[in-house]
Amino acid sequence: MHLLKKWKKWYEPSEEINVRWYNSLYNKVEIEELEVIRLLPNKKAPDQSGLQYEWFKHLPESESKAFRLKGTAKHQ
């Protein structure tokens, strides 16, 4: 069996997954949302992403802007 054929089924879109579930991932992150995160206490449990608030709090301004814009770029 050719290697690509062997793995093809694993990379086919699953019918059990509704692509609309992920539409909000493309929403622009507003600066106000990042400001609220900066005000939250440290050393709290991460959310489902596994990222703690501290990671966002220490983003330099240039990275913060890039992070906000990333949400607007739809995956092709």
DSSP line for 10-56: HHSPPTTS-GGGGGGGGSPPPHHHHHHHHHSPSS----TT---HHHH
Range of 21-35, 38-52, 61-75 with top mean pLDDT: 21-35
Q: Which pLDDT band holds residue 76 (cuts at 50, 70, 90)?
A: very low
Q: What is the structure's pLDDT at 50? A: 73
Query: What number is the average pLDDT over the span 68-76?
Result: 55
Q: What is the structure's pLDDT at 74? A: 53
Query: What number is the average pLDDT over the span 38-57?
Result: 76
Q: What is the structure's pLDDT at 73? A: 55
